[in-house]
Amino acid sequence: MTRILIRCGWIITLDPALGELRDAEILVQDGRIATVGRNLGATAEEVVDATSMIVMPGLIDAHVHLWQCGLRAIGSEWLGPDYHGTMHANLATRYGAEDNYLGNLVSALAHLDGGVTTVLDWCHNITSLEMAERSVDALEESGIRAVFAHGTAKPPTRPGETPYTHVPHPRDRVEALRKSRFASDDRRVTLALAVLGPHWGTLEVAEADLRLARELGLLSTSHATKPRAACVAPGGYEALAEKGLLGPDHNIVHGNYFGEEELDRILDTGASITSTVMTELHGHAAEPLVVRVHRRGHMPSIGIDVEPINSGEMFREMQAALLFTRHAAHRDTAAAGKPPLKAMPIRSREALTWATIGNARAIGLEDRIGSLTPGKLADLIMLRAQDLNLFPVHDPVHSAVEQAGAGNVDSVMVGGVFRKRHGRLLFDEAVLRQRKSQLVESAARILREGGHTPKAL
């Protein structure tokens, strides 16, 4: 039995029964939260002094393509067609298993460094079992908690080939993963299916993919990025709902162009919707669904999406989601000819809940993570409250949501194991230097082979 006692300056539990606590303690036992309160009087093998820190649940990134890490910021001025044409139709086709490993490892470590304890890795350039295995190797090596969402590549269609839009998810590959390293769902890294969905594949393919996920007992997740007329199968989500194939075991990402009735039908099934606000504001005319989901009384979910286009920092995504929903409330009130709002319509705590509990729910882990509730896994982070951009702290929730950033993260714990301590990742520094060098070489080769030259300074 291993016990760690954390003495905290402020605790944000996100547990309604516990709330926020000042000068209190957290007892971690065998990787789980044992108890939270003041003057616990507990004995422990290790006592952690966090009396000058805000201790809170680790952030969760509910949608990110970690494999793209080596191409950070090359698409900062891309539009949607640029992304799909450059990334999926070109650069992604240059990736091999080791390229995926390097991107996944470095991005996972960056997430940990920035206070993210869990990611859903939407890995949609997989072309072989080896490529999938090496992507998972990186997640396991990093120490992060992850849902590995196995996806498939979207290469250009050569003459005589079947387009990817008509190709079901590869049963043999996912069965091999499910029967081997993912036979148990109690691991730190678990399996999901990142499927095409009716925006990117035929209705027959979507139905087959969702049935496969359910047969294997896996979460499924799909992209919904197109106006109705541009979808491969317009009205496909409504058809899937009618067949009983949508539910809490399916997650839809983006969905900006859903109509009101379509959105209602999807949410009524219990399916979750994840918005990637920074990416969607960058490249879509239709606004992120976080607003409409929230107004319907459902829990929003948020994620980073694509690091070649925007920041991989979840604090930024959380802040962007909060500011956008607040702006939308003020905008819509004025557009309706109503008097100005007299109270802030979206509270800071709500945005923090989206980035923790909402994301845990969307990726099927709400019973394990997302709050500092006794019995849940000890996935938590510590923010230095004495840092000049946070000091002085009057309300820890306001400070954590509105003011904090990745640079304030002092320590990160995943399942009771420190992955960052005293401002330093607990990952072999020599190995990380080597992997970073290899990532640079990998990215340079991919860009060279793809004939893509980023703009020089």
Cα distance between residue 258 and residue 225, in whole Å: 9
Would 436 be classed as within a structural domain?
Answer: no
Is the same domain home to 351 and 388?
no
| Length reported for the chain | 457
Distances (CA, A) of 215 to 6, 174, 210, 224: 42, 11, 9, 23
Cα distance between residue 383 and residue 409, in whole Å: 5
DSSP string for 438-456:
HHHHHHHHHHHHTT--PPP
Q: What is the pLDDT of residues 397-441, one digit of tens each?
A: 999 999 999 999 999 999 999 999 999 999 999 999 999 999 999
Q: What's the pLDDT at 395?
A: 98
Is the same domain home to 86 and 221?
yes
Would 34 be classed as within a structural domain?
Answer: yes
Instruction: Answer yes or no: are the C-beta atoms of 27 and 3 closer than 8 Å.
Output: yes
Domain boundary among 315, 340, 361: 361
Q: What is the pLDDT of residues 258-316, one digit of tens each?
A: 999 999 999 999 999 999 999 999 999 899 999 999 999 999 999 999 999 999 999 99
Is the same domain home to 44 and 157?
no
In sequence order, what are the beta bridge partners of 119? 61, 146
**Structural domain of residue 411, as residue ranges?**
3-57+372-423
If DSSP codes are grouped into helix, strand and coil, which group holds residue 414?
Answer: strand
33: CATH:
2.30.40.10
- Rounded to two decimals, what is the model's pTM? 0.97
Is the same domain home to 171 and 224?
yes
Residue type, 407: G
Is the same domain home to 45 and 84?
no
Cα distance between residue 345 and residue 93, in whole Å: 45
Is the same domain home to 318 and 356?
yes
DSSP string for 71-129:
GTTTTTT--HHHHIIIIITTGGGG--HHHHHHHHHHHHHHHHHTTEEEEEEEETT--SH
For the chain, the domain total comes to 2
pLDDT at 77 over 60: yes
Is the same domain home to 167 and 310?
yes
Q: What's the pLDDT at 402?
A: 97
Q: What is the pLDDT of residues 334-344, one digit of tens each?
A: 999 999 999 99
Half-sphere exposure of 440 (CA within 13 A, CB side): 5
Would 437 be classed as within a structural domain?
Answer: no
Q: What's the pLDDT at 374?
A: 98
Domain boundary among 310, 340, 361: 361
Is the same domain home to 189 and 298?
yes
Q: Would you state the structure tokens that stand for residue 128, as one six-digit string?
A: 């072989």
Within 10 A of 235 (CB to CB), how many other CB atoms are there?
14
Q: What is the pLDDT of residues 87-136, one digit of tens each?
A: 999 999 999 999 999 999 999 999 999 999 999 999 999 999 999 999 99
84: CATH:
3.20.20.140
Is the same domain home to 134 and 188?
yes
CB neighbour list of residue 441: distance below 8 Å, 6 or more residues apart: none
Task: Look up tokens 């016990």; give the residue.
Answer: 3
Cα distance between residue 94 and residue 14, in whole Å: 43
Would 445 be classed as within a structural domain?
Answer: no
Would 188 be classed as within a structural domain?
Answer: yes
pLDDT at 457 over 60: no
In the DSSP assignment, the letter for residue 308 is T
Of residues 197, 215, 195, 207, the one with CA closest to residue 245: 207
Average of pLDDT values for 382-411?
A: 98
Is the same domain home to 18 and 72?
no
Is the same domain home to 73 and 179?
yes
Domain boundary among 315, 331, 361: 361
Sign of CA dihedral 115, 120, 123, 129: positive
Is the same domain home to 278 and 412?
no
Half-sphere exposure of 354 (CA within 13 A, CB side): 35
Instruction: Answer yes or no: are the C-beta atoms of 213 and 196 closer than 8 Å.
Output: no
Q: What's the pLDDT at 206?
A: 98
